Structure 1
Amino acid sequence: MLEFGKGNPAAFEILLKRHQAPVFRYILRFISNRAQAEELSQEVFLRVCKVAGRYSKKAKFTTWLYTIARNLCIDHKRRTVNRVELSLERTGEEDDRSLADRLPDTNRIMASSELVRDEFRRKLEEALATLPDEQREVFTMREFSGLKFREIADVLEVSENTVKSRMRYALETLRGHLAAYSDFSFDADDSSEAQHMR
């Protein structure tokens, strides 16, 4: 970011390649509307461009970036009357794999397992929708965007222990909703969400 602030456009391309997909996924999970998430994601990076010359490394870049994204999402939610339910069925670009895409490959599992997987997806979708906003936000930042607890705490302006507590409660709730799937086998490559819920 400091290089981009000095006028190096190649540095912005590197930032964009590194952070665009995770920021988009975070926004998509926050507002659950693909078109609006694309617009807000673009707005995040437009704001980054606008303030590039004034950026100082007081906080980690990802913390600063996700703070911008979070604030835009909050503003958007305030303006939006209708809430759209979280969808795991959204298709994405190469680097934008949804949780549904990370579940076991249907070519490698039996038909009965495929039915279990589809049912698991529906139950997970329902379970995520039941989480309080604070817990869903922490879960999304941690599992879909890959932020560390410290970074999430900085973005949310709460203590790291608060973030860990919200994550723990989110996982407990999800485990409760998905207890029937505790014996369902996931491959090592599958999402960390499924691994956490075991």
Structure 2
Amino acid sequence: MAAQLTDDELSAALAGEPSGFSAVYSTMSPAVLGYFRARGVDDPEALTQDVFVDVLPKLTGIKGGHAGLRTFLFSIAHARLVDYRRRSARTPQLTEYDPLQDRRFSNSAEDDVLGSLGGISSTLSMLNDEQREVLILRIVADLSVEQVAGIMNKTPGAVKQLQRRGLIALRELVKDKDHTPS
């Protein structure tokens, strides 16, 4: 059973004596702390301290004896709880970033470019193999005519001719695609 505040301790507290406040705190703070814990406050000790900081300067004006003190104490505790709830409702919940729990997804720049190349890839597939290979090595790989000739085992003149014919064919394919209704 919890300790009870004696009449002498209550009188001392109501008279403003420090020993009386100390007695009020030691006998009543466990009940206030329990109230806050039961109400789910995340830091009940801090809120209990706030209640007694509010009670201290007002102790001398309390009427009604033990019941009056208890009523006054828990009315302040309730007001602190309401303030706490309002403050919690306005305060955003902060959580640490966990990349494993993050379900958001955004394409990388590379994914976007490769996705936009889908139409180009299908257009390139309409060229013959040599034209397509020359254009990819020249444009995408940024190789010189001589380097492409060495890779494809062709003369530089043949590579230039394949490139010219491939670009003409691409121009025609793109032009046809632009004039075709979707």
In which range does the TM-score fall when normalised by the shorter chain?
0.3 to 0.5
**Please, what TM-score do these two structures have when normalized by structure 1?**
0.37
